[in-house]
Chains A and B, each alone.
Chain A
Amino acid sequence: MSKTKSEYLINRHDNQYEVVIGLEVHAQVTSESKLFSTSATKFGAEPNTQVSLVDAAFPGMLPVINEYCVKQAIKTGIGLKAKINKRSVFDRKNYFYADLPQGYQISQFKDPIVGEGKVILDMPDGHKEVGIERLHLEQDAGKSIHDLDPKNTFVDLNRSGVALMEIVSKPDLRSPDEVNAYIKKLRSIMRYLGTCDGNMQEGSLRADVNVSVRKKGSKEFGTRCEIKNVNSIKFMQMAIEYEANRQVDLIEEGQTIDQETRLFDTKKNETRSMRSKEDAHDYRYFPDPDLLPLEVSDDFIENLKSEIPELPDEKKKRFIEKFKLSPYEANILVSDIETSNYFENVIKKSDVKLATNWIIGELFAALNEKNLEITESPISAGNLSKLINLIKDGTISGKIAKTVFEQMMEGDKDPQKIVEEKGLKQESDPKALEALIDKVIDDNRDKATEYKSGKVKLFGFFVGQVMKVSGGKANPQLVNEILKKKL
């Protein structure tokens, strides 16, 4: 039935349902100070230590736009191949909450800073384009803490006024896997640009997930539910699966789906109704009279364009074309900027093929085991490059290289030194090898006779013996050659 293997469908009785997903990603802008004030934005500071009079909405305080955040938003828009709006407007979104000191959030409603764009996903069955509806700048709220006291709620305003980019996708996503790929790609692009660190544990990246279902083949969208504020990819995927199945069940039972806002309960792994459409807030959006419309010139945008680094899609293309990497290898190496930088540093002075294999294979496995990021790798790009050169020029064998690599993981040691100190240098002197081989043949006369009488499988035995006697240091290629002659 399915067009491709990866198509995500929910089957009930004789019906097949397609899931339609759109995301509103809230990405914290990487910036030293807040969107409309000069307060710091450092994560994990003592509560209420990064709050200015503006953030706490004291009487007579006024917002002043942080130009750096505007640049960051435009750069992100460029990275999303999106239309940059030269004129955008900040609006007030009015609602009451204890952690919203102004009684309104400054956001962009009708005229966002960035318009339509796109993100390309690499899925197992090919490329998938996801449309971006818009990107706008807005203030984050503070944090309400309900579990410190049985009666009172505590409020931390450190986050109040921090700049967020809300990136709204079109309803183009069709499966939890695509959502995974989308978030990772978005994160990757923003990390390349340096506009959002994408740290989901610290809340720098969260999403509202819009989910609806429809019978396969249907052109109409179903009624959607919005799952608020999900802060990990895994939870997004779980929430989507739960929510899509819940909606399918309702339809199958002949019921209708209410458009509503829901919450994902990570403990029970289910979504719960938060408020219905009827109870939806009337935010009374209107242009913030404290701020003039934001106008940027062509020059301003062009200058930012010139600061845009090579992005993952372009880098991947270059890696494939220039270094002859497979799409799979290229994908892995460009997935985040640190990995691709590491790779490019390694291959500055060493063999591309070997470097690719060693990074994707040994290094990733070792980092994974120690739960380290590439930026925390004990082995610097320079030393990995040296190790690869030692293999390439025959100083050590691949097998010895693994031993050296393990040593290097214990601290950024120079592989050359390890090889020297431990005497791991490969034996490539033919005379020395001949002597060694002669001794092995001598010690195994009977096997040598069997070999000569046609039992050629025994060749491997002799190679093994020579390597064993040499302590693994014998140059395998030379051993092969000499053995063939001697036997």
Chain B
Amino acid sequence: MSDITKQSLSELVENIKGKKLSSSEVTKAFVERSEKSKELNAYITEDYANALNKAKKFDEKPNLDLKLPGIPMAVKDLFCTRDLRTTAGSKILNNFVPTYESTVTQNIWNEGAILMGKLNCDEFAMGSSNETSFFGNVQNPIDKNLVPGGSSGGSSSAVAAQLTPITIGTDTGGSIRQPASFTGTVGLKPTYGSCSRYGIVAFASSLDQAGPMAQNVKDCALLQEVISTYDEKDSTSIDFKRNEYGKELTKDIKGKKIGIPKEYRVDGMPKEIEDLWKKGIEYAKDCGAEIIDISLPHTNYALPTYYIVAPAEASSNLARYDGVKYGFRAEGENLIDMYEKTRSEGFGAEVQRRIMIGTYVLSSGYYDAYYLKAQKVRKLIKNDFDDAYKKVDAILTPSTPSSAFKIGEKTNDPVSMYLNDIFTVPVNLAGLPGISIPAGHDAKGYPLGLQIIGKAFDEQNILNIAYAMEEKINFKNNITDWWIK
């Protein structure tokens, strides 16, 4: 039994399809491990009893043709789940139970998966360490008091600690790739428009994208195949030909041209990261790829651009949490008083900071200088990638400028926290797919990730490169189960 949670998604699917394991056995194993792992605080809402019931029902009449037959799964608490509380990590949605299901999670249940619970995340996905969650810090299973990254920190922690065989997160500026990198797991941010945003609590609409987080590339590809669908309910969803990413996965990347952007050698980058990147280049070469130096000249402007565009959209997206219709309400003397008290008490400090930044950059008199200019720079950043992709098929960079940091280390220094997203943010601004794979450890033994950035809609290609490199890297996560007494 204890072996079950160590199995990858692909193995579990194979074992259930081969009737070697039942959904109940698998679900029970993950539920038990999740229950023993409360110290990680990966879950906001647990739904174990329902999960076990659903597993039982599945076993009574198993549909083994499905892609995720009876597979239990916890998901980031930013996805609205019918009849199960959805908080977005915020007090303001503490009591919110949706009557509807997000398209992405619906796609997952349609393939036979079973919801185990909702995973912790930074409040409204605003954060890089999961420390802004109203429901508390999440522990990185790698080491005690280490952040799991963010905003999909509950998701990365849960996958790394094997509380769920696989999960989904959302990525607005790195929220899948950075936590994957911090926990030694694989995270894919798909092309903007690949996965429907319907039913996902919005942070920054033009950047938000759901994606899979897994223990390995193959699992990631399989889940991407399930969640990526064209959806008329999301006007920014794009109707393009989607691959069967899992089935079409190949390690043959001979002759693929991989670009190395010189602008990603940022000042003050630890040598360990530099070394990791060099190693990554060697791995890619070993796989038969051709390495080409490229330039993405506007990289420097990506972070400031992101921290204008994302808060601007967020300030407007979060206006609906006003205490009038649903969620938390603080009583007030009048409407304005009620708004002020509800939003002051209901939102945490980081969310309030971003609402203020966003409100400021959209204000008349500042709009042109900030928001409009940021949109122009965003275009330039996108053009950089377009130019680069005339020469290369994919781009290789580190995922983060450092390994995971301690809980509390950066909470009083938002700018240093924001700098964590320096390698991931340009990808969101350009709407491209990017995947982070674990590639090594730093001196402290903490995992480090490499990022492969692809052309729009070219998920298959970066998954293939990641798959090939994964084999060469042969990464092993050192997880000691220190939290299990």
Contact = CB atoms under 8 A, between A and B. Distances in A.
Q: Which of B96, B312, B313 has the most CB of A within 10 A?
A: B313
Contacts of A126: none
A98 B98 contact: no
A249 interface: no
Contacts of A96: 319, 322, 339
A101 B326 CA distance: 10
Contact of A56 (B312, B318, B325, B335): B325
A60 B322 contact: no
Interface in A429-464: none
Interface stretch (A74-82, A168-176, A179-187, A283-291): A283-291
20 contacts: A53-B100, A56-B325, A59-B86, A60-B102, A60-B200, A60-B202, A64-B235, A65-B235, A94-B316, A94-B319, A96-B339, A98-B324, A98-B335, A101-B320, A282-B364, A285-B362, A286-B371, A290-B205, A290-B236, A291-B236
Interface in A58-77: 58-65
B100 A284 contact: no
B235 A62 contact: yes
Contacts of B198: 60-62
Given A98-B335, A282-B363, A60 B80 contact: yes
A153 interface: yes
A104 B316 CA distance: 7
B57 interface: no
Interface string B171-203: 000000000000000000000000001111110
Interface in A17-73: 53, 56-65
Give 4 nearest A-B pairs by CB, closest first.
A103-B319, A289-B205, A284-B362, A289-B206
A292 B239 CA distance: 14
A418 interface: no
Contacts of B315: 94, 284
B233 interface: yes
A155 interface: yes
B345 interface: no
Interface string B274-316: 0000000000000000000000000000000000000011011
A430 B234 CA distance: 83
B158 interface: no
A315 B336 CA distance: 53
Interface in B204-248: 204-206, 232-236
A380 interface: no
Contact of B201 (A60, A92, A102, A284): A60
Chain A interface category by residue count: 20 to 34
B319 A102 contact: yes
Interface in A250-302: 282, 284-286, 289-292
Interface string B98-111: 11101000000000
B93 interface: yes
Contacts of B206: 289
Contact of B362 (A60, A94, A103): A94
A198 to B, nearest CB: 30
B359 interface: yes
B363 to A, nearest CB: 6
Interface in B308-355: 312-313, 315-316, 318-320, 322, 324-326, 335, 339
A58 B326 contact: yes
Interface SS of chain A: loop
Contacts of A98: 322, 324, 335
B71 to A, nearest CB: 24
B221 to A, nearest CB: 26
B100 A101 contact: no
B88 interface: yes
Nearest to A90: B235
Given A94-B362, A103-B316, A290-B236, A62 B325 contact: no
A338 to B, nearest CB: 38
Contact of A101 (B98, B199, B324): B324
Contact of A103 (B205, B312, B320, B363): B320
B363 A284 contact: yes
A53 B96 CA distance: 14
B418 interface: no
Contacts of A285: 362, 367
A102 B320 contact: yes
Contacts of B86: 59
A151 B227 CA distance: 48
Contact of A286 (B96, B200, B233, B312): B312
Contacts of B363: 282, 284
Nearest to A95: B319
Nearest to B343: A96
A284 B235 contact: no
Contacts of A292: 235-236
A59 B235 contact: no
A155 B234 CA distance: 28
Nearest to B364: A282
Given A59-B201, A96-B322, A101-B325, 18 more contacts: A53-B99, A59-B86, A59-B93, A59-B202, A60-B198, A62-B198, A62-B233, A62-B235, A102-B319, A103-B319, A103-B320, A153-B335, A284-B363, A285-B367, A286-B316, A286-B362, A289-B313, A291-B235
A296 B22 CA distance: 53
A60 B199 contact: yes
B362 A59 contact: no
B313 A64 contact: no
Contact of A62 (B99, B197, B318, B326): B197
B325 A59 contact: no
Interface string A360-379: 00000000000000000000
A290 B203 CA distance: 11
B204 A62 contact: no
A97 to B, nearest CB: 8
A102 to B, nearest CB: 5
Contacts of A60: 80, 98, 102, 197-202
A284 B313 contact: no
B277 to A, nearest CB: 33
A53 B204 CA distance: 20
Nearest to B80: A60
B171 to A, nearest CB: 16
Contacts of A56: 325
A387 to B, nearest CB: 55
Contacts of A65: 235
Interface in B365-416: 367, 371
A169 to B, nearest CB: 25
Interface in A137-164: 153, 155
A284 B316 contact: yes
Contacts of B318: 103
Contacts of B201: 59-60
Contacts of A103: 316, 318-320, 322
A289 B233 CA distance: 14
Contacts of B320: 57, 59, 101-103
Contacts of A62: 197-198, 233-235
A109 B319 CA distance: 19
A292 B322 CA distance: 26
A98 B323 CA distance: 9
A58 B319 contact: no
B286 to A, nearest CB: 41
A284 B361 CA distance: 9
